[in-house]
Chains A and B, each alone.
Chain A
């Protein structure tokens, strides 16, 4: 049934939507102001993602809300349901077919978007001299340095704060770095330090042992590095060595006796190397895909008992409420803080200047209406999934990785709402008579 649905969609010339998509992005790109390349690139990313989402929604709703009523009206469903295909399998096959169709469309749109963004990114790089505009590195803030191992004097402590290591060879200089949950929640692949070491002796090089430690789990990575004086060396270590709350500790020790070294504190930073832009973009497309699948299931559920155009309408209304969930939730919160509710005599009157007057109690019918309205809002905000959960454009436009947790949340929302809507659709369709 899945392959049949895909074929049905393709024969309906659904791929024409790709031409519309390319034309939209191309025209949008042409109309975009050209004063700031980085901003222009961000706008292009938003345009591509929103255009993908828009055309995806159109395709998802119009195809999935019409196919079952059409099967019923043309009676093709009679020849299918008299074959060894259960009604649930019929619904599931249709959903799978639409998943394949939307997957194909999103793949092509994604590749086209990537081409546009890459093209614009290279153009922006030529203008600004930067080539890594798509996603930038971010650092973890240093918290301070201290000495460890052996006796240390006040002068040693002062040296340590300046990044100087001298005296006994077993003495270690420890750099602490603070982490923030939000900064580590991205899928940064590796972390990196690029310290610069100055040798104060006649030796042109310094041999240094660097130990990176997770302060909570005590996991360590040790490496021996030879620094040319005044030159930077890149030291990479896995992200797991950074604790989301306590950060990371990096301790350095000289291997050669008598070789005093000074670490350039400004250069001694831990940087998070972001995953490639393509990876984040792909995750964003996956999230859009999951959102569209929820919409497909909603549309198919509606079409099990409604005619095609009513099902399309219901699907669009569902999408409207799902997309405006955050606005509705904010509005509900504002109502909670407002003792007189939505329809009360004091609602929306703002601040009343002058002496404070005790509010007159509202009639009972106003209270009842308020409660009804609040109840309706509660239902709307719970029966439709929050479509912002499937939108990752806010991460990409500020050059941030899409955190894995965000993708997982989208997956959970898809699974929970998808399963619920599918169950409702099956309950309705299970005893639906194929009369017409």
Chain B
């Protein structure tokens, strides 16, 4: 296993960014209630620079996994590490960003104050903090609402400012819990583009979601959890590949050529499953129609 450079005790360049071994979490039942096994014996490795998706229905243990990896709760058994350190370590937190399931932010602050507060927690110098706040506010499209208290924000706007706070320290590892929930298709697309951009910049992203299309679009690898157990893990392309069907996509095929092709395939005794025109997705159609409008003119 390749080991990278060490920054103040944290292995930033380590090949494995996040690791879980036999991670188990049991919520003990109080007052005679039965204990709940939220996560059972999870083994997981997230490589540096990849976008990893945690998939699963409600109650499958996705958020529990994230909380364990963030040090907000403690495992009943097993161990986890982030950037080579125990979760919750202050040194680790210096290099991570977290967007919770809903943007749990101080409602009395406005966007500027929120980012300034979180920037201060990272001890960013004043000048750098101001520059970073301007960049992030612009990036999430909240320039005109930056002085408005967050309590007046729509859900989509809250998600945007939540994402901005997660990025305030330009993190090496980003934990995103349902990053696109509450966002309209354009916002969803922007978040997905942002995740891909982070990936291009070598950042590691661990996202949990139950929106399969979102995960499929951005993740390199996924793990599927069900009732706290890991059911499958692997690269998206491999897991989704239907190996016994071959797809040929051609542009402007004439009817004669198509008939000729069918004849050849019949000669080869190959079963033709489907011959059709590909369809665009509803998301692509929506983006073509309304995507040109600037973010702030849309009603959130």
Whether A82 contacts B90 in the complex (CB less than 8 A), given A8-B106, A8-B108, A431-B74, comes out as no
- B204 proximal to A (CB < 8 A): no
Could you say which of A33-41, A71-79, A244-252 contacts chain B? A71-79
How many A-B residue contacts, CB cutoff 8 Å? 69
B100 adjacent to A78 (CB under 8 Å):
yes
Subset of 28 A-B contacts with CB under 8 Å: A3-B120, A4-B106, A7-B113, A8-B108, A11-B108, A74-B104, A75-B104, A78-B67, A78-B70, A78-B98, A78-B104, A79-B104, A79-B105, A79-B118, A80-B121, A81-B71, A81-B72, A82-B72, A83-B118, A83-B122, A84-B93, A84-B94, A84-B123, A85-B90, A433-B72, A433-B73, A435-B27, A435-B73
Is A115 on the interface with B (CB-CB < 8 A)? Answer: no
Q: Does A144 contact B (CB under 8 A)?
A: no
| SS of A interface (majority) | loop
B96 at interface, CB cutoff 8 A: yes
Q: Which residues of A contact B (CB under 8 A)?
A: 1, 3-4, 7-8, 11-12, 74-86, 431, 433-435
A76 and B73 contacting across the interface, CB-CB below 8 Å: no
Q: How far, in angstroms, from A7 to B109 measured CA to CA in the complex?
A: 9
Q: A4-B120, A80-B121 are in contact. List 19 more A-B contacts (CB 8 A).
A: A4-B106, A7-B113, A8-B106, A75-B104, A76-B105, A76-B106, A78-B72, A79-B118, A79-B162, A81-B71, A82-B175, A83-B122, A83-B169, A84-B94, A84-B122, A433-B72, A434-B73, A435-B27, A435-B73
Scoring B residues 117 to 146 as 1 if CB is less than 8 Å from chain A, else 0, what string do you get? 110111100000000000000000000000
What's the interface size class on B, roughly? 20 to 34
A78 to chain B, nearest CB (A): 5
Could you tell me if A82 and B104 are in contact, using CB atoms closer than 8 angstroms? no
Minimum CB–CB distance for B145 against chain A, Å: 18
Report how far A84 CA is from B113 CA in the complex, Å: 18
Q: Which residues of the other chain, B, contact A75 by a CB distance below 8 angstroms?
A: 100, 102, 104
Q: Is the CB of B121 within 8 A of A84?
A: yes
Q: Does B24 contact A (CB under 8 A)?
A: no
Those 7 A-B pairs whose CB atoms lie nearest each other, nearest first: A75-B104, A83-B121, A11-B108, A434-B72, A82-B98, A433-B73, A84-B93
Partner of A76, one of B93, B104, B122: B104
How close is B37's CB to chain A, nearest CB, in angstroms?
15
Residue from B90, B98, B120, B123 in contact with A79 in the complex, judged by beta carbons closer than 8 Å: B98
Q: Does B91 contact A (CB under 8 A)?
A: yes
In the complex, which residues of chain B have a beta carbon less than 8 angstroms from the beta carbon of A8?
Answer: 106, 108
Contacts A76-B105, A79-B105, A79-B118 given: A433-B90 contact, CB under 8 Å?
no
Name the B residues within 8 Å of A76 (CB-CB): 104-106
Q: Distance (Å) between the CB of A100 and the closest chain B CB?
A: 15
Tell me which residues across on chain B come within 8 A of A433, comparing CB atoms. 72-74
List of B residues within 8 angstroms of A78 by Cβ: 67, 70, 72, 98, 100, 104
